[in-house]
Homo-oligomer: A and B are copies of this chain.
Amino acid sequence: MAESADDRLRLLIERIERLEEEKKGISDDIKDVYNEAKATGYDAKVMRIIVRLRKMKPDDRREQECVVETYKNALGLD
């Protein structure tokens, strides 16, 4: 036959490898932005927190922040 099982497997693997390279490139780009931000004086760690918060649905986020406050108060945290 024109295409052996071995070739099929190889093609799948190679597609994955190409995609992983692309992904790696983007990860590097993200790292660059954080470094650029840090060089400008921003706190990268906090920026990561912000990105996470913005991923949440606003209502969920506010709800959670509220519960966190409650628990902090219960424990005398802050």
| Interface members, chain A 41-65 (any B CB < 8 Å) | 42-43, 45-47, 49-51, 53-54, 62, 64
Write the chain B residue with the least CB distance to A41.
Answer: B5
Contact for A71 among B47, B72, B75, CB less than 8 A: B47
Total contacting residues, chain A, CB less than 8 A: 43
Contact for A42 among B12, B22, B45, CB less than 8 A: B12
A30 to chain B, nearest CB (A): 5
| Interface members, chain A 8-37 (any B CB < 8 Å) | 8-10, 12-13, 15-17, 19-20, 22-23, 26-27, 29-30, 33-34, 36-37
CA distance A45 to B71 in the complex (A): 12
